[in-house]
Chains A and B, each alone.
Chain A
Amino acid sequence: MSAPAPPLALLAEVTHRCPLGCPYCSNPVELVRRSGEMETAAWLSLLEEAARMGVLQVHFSGGEPTARHDLEDMVAKAEAVGLYSNLITSGVLLDRRRLESLAARGLQHVQLSFQGVEPDGADHIAGFEGGHARKLACARLVTDLGLPLTVNAVMHRGNLDRLDDMIALAVELGAQRLEVAHVQYYGWALRNRARLLPTVGQLDAATATVEAARRRLTGVLVIDYVIPDYYARRPKACMGGWGRRFVNVSPEGRVLPCHAAETIPGLRFERVGERPLAEIWADGEAFERFRGTDWMPDPCKSCDRREVDWGGCRCQALAIAGRADVTDPACELSPDHRLMAAIAAADAGIESGEFVYRRLGDAGG
């Protein structure tokens, strides 16, 4: 097999620290503390390496990436080496001075997450009083500075019925894109699935809402929307395929095929600096394990969609079927698909319960 094409994008998870405590956080349940974070110089040389090997975009993510005070240096480095830089943020730590400083150093785009459309519900689920108001203020700062804004609306059973209001909010804030981001059930969200999974009725209504809004808002707002896995018939090409489009670097500098890959037992992940990034990508054990189609079992192996969805998500296969090396149970051809349907039916029917909020232990410092 020839060498794989380089990744298009680097997901730089520069920290796991975050002032919010969302129970659907996509970070691993074992969070990296500040003392374990990779230092500035290593991030800067990683950005240089990424650009050199053909990466085009860098997504600064976390945790809350603005919790790091050297984010400006990273954005400036990205700009200097020709990487398109995107900030994925909760917005609650961003004031005008900080945002101006990031924009001046070359930041190209801001993706701002929202937990709801009104303060009470949004702040409750984020576990952070006043957060929603700060997000609204941040959105206005972004558009005031002329930066493009994407609203990332995290949707679940508790707020999916307000999707129309969320779309209206995105338009009002001057966003160009809205990601209707159904919670994905890994990490913390998996622990809270019974409180979060929408019902099939909610989902059908939401899909109709999105279709109507897309027609109404052509040329005004682009809406990204994907049916959540638990109600899908075919899996998503998770990360665009394992080791195909994205390289993810964790706060402590582990080079991962996806942000949840560390949940898969038996994979060894190399660290930034152990070997050149291009080599880790090309033949690192973790990247090779599920890259392409050679690893696939049936029904994937003989499926005509094997190079469309690449077998779906390895972490979801592990979470539902107990093995990472089988077809994603989101696929109706998977022998484990009924498990997913059964979970959806059971969890979406649960009326109440308490959230397990995301916490870093002694939190944040």
Chain B
Amino acid sequence: MSGRTVIGEGSRPRLPRGVRLKHDAARGQWVILAPERMFVLDDTAVEIMKAVDGEADVAAIVAGLAARFQAPRPVILADVVKLLQDFADKGVVRA
């Protein structure tokens, strides 16, 4: 049995097998498709999840978003960690 994934700045998040980020054209939204569940993403979550590529660590994801949206890094960091930890606890993100 594997333990709980805890997300920190050094974590390298990825979508495990069976989890997909998809544009839902019929409803004009982005969704995460996971085993027998689906999550509709808000605008912030879409940008974060598009940056989750299994390569970038959380610090790099935060730096990228802070630069693109000209937002304070601590605010972005808090958003990113909160979202990814929530998804990790739902089995949707691994690190």
A residues contacting B by CB (< 8 A) are: 5-6, 8, 53-54, 56-57, 59, 82, 84, 86, 108-109, 111, 146-148, 150, 171-172, 174, 176-177, 218-220, 222
Contact = CB atoms under 8 A, between A and B. Distances in A.
A109 B36 contact: yes
Interface stretch (B58-66, B73-81, B83-91): B83-91
Most A Cβ at <10 Å: residue of B2, B36, B88, B89: B36
A86 B20 contact: no
B36 A54 contact: no
B94 to A, nearest CB: 10
Given A56-B31, A150-B36, A172 B1 contact: yes
17 contacts: A53-B26, A56-B22, A56-B38, A57-B38, A82-B22, A84-B22, A86-B36, A108-B20, A108-B33, A147-B17, A148-B16, A174-B1, A219-B3, A219-B4, A219-B88, A220-B3, A220-B4
Contacts, number: 70
A6 B3 contact: no
Contacts of A5: 26-27
Contacts of A86: 35-36
Most A Cβ at <10 Å: residue of B25, B27, B35: B35
Nearest to A8: B38
A171 B36 contact: no
B25 A54 contact: yes
Given A108-B17, A109-B36, 20 more contacts: A6-B26, A54-B26, A56-B33, A82-B22, A84-B20, A108-B33, A109-B18, A111-B36, A148-B18, A148-B34, A148-B35, A148-B91, A150-B35, A171-B1, A177-B36, A218-B4, A219-B89, A220-B4, A222-B90, A222-B91
B89 A54 contact: no
B33 A84 contact: yes
The majority secondary structure among interface residues of chain B is loop
Contacts of A147: 17-18
B27 A54 contact: yes
Contacts of A57: 33, 36, 38
Contacts of B2: 174, 220
Size class of the contact patch on chain B: 20 to 34
Contacts of B34: 148
A148 B90 CA distance: 13
A104 B20 CA distance: 16
Nearest 7 interchain pairs by C-beta: A54-B26, A219-B4, A148-B18, A109-B35, A84-B33, A176-B91, A109-B18
B11 interface: no
A171 B3 CA distance: 11
Contacts of A8: 38
A279 to B, nearest CB: 15
Interface string B30-44: 010111101000000
B13 to A, nearest CB: 14
B35 A218 contact: no
Nearest to B20: A84
A220 B88 CA distance: 9
B24 interface: yes
Contacts of A172: 1
A59 B33 CA distance: 13
A214 B89 CA distance: 11
Contacts of A84: 20, 22, 33
Most B Cβ at <10 Å: residue of A5, A176, A218: A176
B37 to A, nearest CB: 9
A8 B34 CA distance: 13
Contacts of B4: 218-220
A218 B89 contact: yes
Nearest to A54: B26
A177 B91 contact: yes
Contacts of B35: 86, 108-109, 111, 148, 150, 176-177
A5 B27 CA distance: 8
Contacts of B27: 5-6, 54
